[in-house]
Amino acid sequence: MLKQLRIALIITAVAIAIGGALVGRYLLSNQLSIPPAPGVKGIFLLHDPPALNQTATLTYVITPRTLGRENELSCSVGIVLPEGFVWVGEIPEGRTIVDNRTLLENITLVLNQPIEISGTIKAVQTGVGWHIRAYGLMAGGGSGFGSHLYVTVTENSAWVENAPSSPPLKNENLQPLPFTSVPRPPLSVNLSLSDPPVLGRVVDLSCDIESAFDAPDVTAQVELPDAFAVVSGDKSWRGKIEKSSKVEFTLKVKALEVGDYEIRTLAELVNGEHRLKDRSYLYVEVGENDASVSYAPPPPKLELVELSESEIPPEYRETARTQLQSSSLTITGRVLYKDEHDYSRPLKWAKIKIFDKEWWGWSLLTELLTDANGEFTYGPISNVDSEFGESGTLDIVVQIFAQNGIVNVKSPGWLGGTYYATWYDSYDVPDGVLDLGNVLLGADETQQGIGRILTYVNNAWEYLYDTVNYDMPEITVEYPTAGTGYVVYYLWGIEIGKWIEVEVGYNRSRDILQHEYGHYIMHMIRGVVQPPDYIENHFIESASNATTAWSEGWADFYPLAVQNDPYWAWGCCENFMHAHYGGRIGLELDADMLWFDTGDTVEGRVAASLWDIIDSNNDGSDTISLPFSNIWVLFSDTTRSFNTFAEFWQQWRSIYSGNAEIVHGAKAAIYQNTIDYNWWTPWCSIENLTGTW
């Protein structure tokens, strides 16, 4: 541990030398696995966010609830403004402002005594989601904390968000960050507000409903919290929507109370073979003089729920860990998550960190992953606390992290951190077996989405590794966000970050998560994020263009392969009555796809063609069943160029030219999906007396 501290001090010195003292120290300390400061919470206050060229007071409140064994600790704090803001006004003694944007100050934290750091900021540029960050580093580098705030600035107004998002306020001049989008459900609904709903202000609440086909009887219902009143208009709508068209209904509402609220709407269609639902959510923070609106709720604090043995599925109750014996110390436990059907399941490959608390901070004893049963066991180890200045037995902290080398589930934004929860925290743990029992990851729908995301991405990685022995690098998933997609961020033409964004409404959809992982695979293997003529507003069943259909068709196909299931679902499952049902489309039977557009510009046809090449079900002209590796051999060959499904097919013919069964069997499967690449070409050459035909 002493070696680790020396490394931290050396890196800190380098960071100070290059002028990035606080930021460099905090980020590099995190890379050395120094844990967040337990019980120290920082909150931004910006009650009157400034429009362009206006000023406002920004306050950062730090509240130390616990400080380990200390009552006071020194702390270095920094507040970093984005380029859209600058610090203005007088600089108090003991505070440093670097380049008008970074505030640095040393403070002393006293247990249960909040400290406020305030300053005046000025908005100098308009922009969406300007990111204001705060860092804190405890004395000695033992732990740290951080907070973030997102401010959207226009010429005449501004508003605050707790998470980055494309704003759900109607303003044509504001553009969200572009990224690959999920396929739109055939019936989709979206809520928006005309203005931030400050207390007592009347604003327009609009509900847009769009259908990919003729929908003769659609219903929509807006659900308002009790703190909002309808001034005029109707909360419900019923009517017909023509193919590829949109209807909108608007009501005027006002907020009656200050607080945080959720506004939502549900659209439904039940018509013959079409049984569809879609939902839209707005998260509103109402104040007396300001308000914020987001499509994403604030990032949750991850909590654990203790489960009794009777709450565990029977097949997981009897385990070897209950028989463990130890004369020193062995630590064991089991983690579960709620799956898309709300069943408790073992959480595989969650990271467990176990620390011994020392007088100077926390010493990491081990990192390990839960097994397929959701269990971990560490030990036996010596239970003597022999560190300098310590005595007695070990002081144990056990934490669960939503990160495992495959996926890192974190809160949104550059300062967002990996989700974690403290499972156990005690001084002088007695000898023997410390059985932590069974815990459920997450106490509500938003929190429980973290375990689902971890599981679904694990499955997507595992399929590729098991079938073709390819180990994808770890991918970051930001959750909850305003939209869902695969994002790649460039600065001056250089890629500086990539991640998947997931909104709360899609945390139950395996298909959506693994669709975005499919985009990640295409980016890492083929170098393609968005084709140049990418169509963002795309549907599985509708024609777009050849490049979009190939990019999205591959991503639509990948979850079918992972789950060995030809049904594509936007929600939790295929049960229409489930509260989180979101509609489904079958990509196997002709009867499920009669209303699809035809040809290789339809992403659903491309996905179904790839599926028919590998599936074991014979239907129509599809009688082939190849392993996924046949597709992967071509897909991963970067010496071969293809940006459309037609070009992929030409390369397929080339790479398998010596195997007529593979070529013509695949061609038949493609033809089955209305993509005709000269289907009637003979299977072999026919010779006569005068030569070859």
CA distance 157 to 155: 6
Give me 154's structure tokens.
């226009």
User: Which range is most confident: 117-121, 566-570, 588-592?
Assistant: 117-121
Tens digits of residue pLDDT in 514-572:
999 999 999 999 998 888 888 888 888 889 999 999 999 999 999 999 999 998 887 76
Top-confidence residue, 26 or 466: 466
Give me 451's structure tokens.
């375990």
CA distance 641 to 650: 10
Tens digits of residue pLDDT in 189-234:
888 888 889 999 999 999 999 887 788 888 999 999 999 999 999 9
Q: According to the model, what pLDDT value does residue 138 have? A: 67
Q: Residue 150: pLDDT band by 50, 70, 90 thresholds?
A: confident
Q: State yes or no: pLDDT of 500 exceeds 90.
A: yes
Q: Which residues contact 21 (CB under 8 A, 6 or more apart)?
A: 12, 15, 104
Min mean pLDDT across 436-440, 470-474, 585-589 is at: 585-589
> What one-character-per-residue DSSP string does 305-320 give?
EEE-GGGS-GGGTS-G
Residue 221 backbone dihedrals phi, psi, to 5 degrees? -135, 125
Q: Is there a cis peptide before residue 168, judged by omega within 30 degrees of 0?
A: no
Q: According to the model, what pLDDT value does residue 297 have? A: 82
**Mean pLDDT over residues 583-590, rounded?**
77
Q: According to the model, what pLDDT value does residue 215 have? A: 82
Kindly list the distances between the CA atom of residue 5 and the CA atoms of 33, 35, 98, 363, 482, in Å, as whole numbers in the listed order.
Answer: 11, 13, 27, 11, 39
Scored b (16 or more CB within 10 A) or e, 603-619 reads bbbbbbbbbbbbbeeee
Q: According to the model, what pLDDT value does residue 184 have? A: 73
Q: Which residues contact 684 (CB under 8 A, 6 or more apart)?
A: 660
Q: According to the model, what pLDDT value does residue 14 have? A: 29
CA distance 503 to 449: 10
Q: Residue 136: pLDDT band by 50, 70, 90 thresholds?
A: confident
* Amino acid symbol at 409: V
Tens digits of residue pLDDT in 254-263:
999 999 999 9
- Let me know: does 197 contact 248? Beta carbons within 8 Å: no
Min mean pLDDT across 234-238, 286-290, 315-319 is at: 315-319
User: Which range is most confident: 17-26, 296-305, 483-492, 621-630?
Assistant: 621-630
Q: State yes or no: pLDDT of 407 exceeds 90.
A: yes
Q: Residue 369: pLDDT band by 50, 70, 90 thresholds?
A: very high
Give me 155's structure tokens.
């010429």
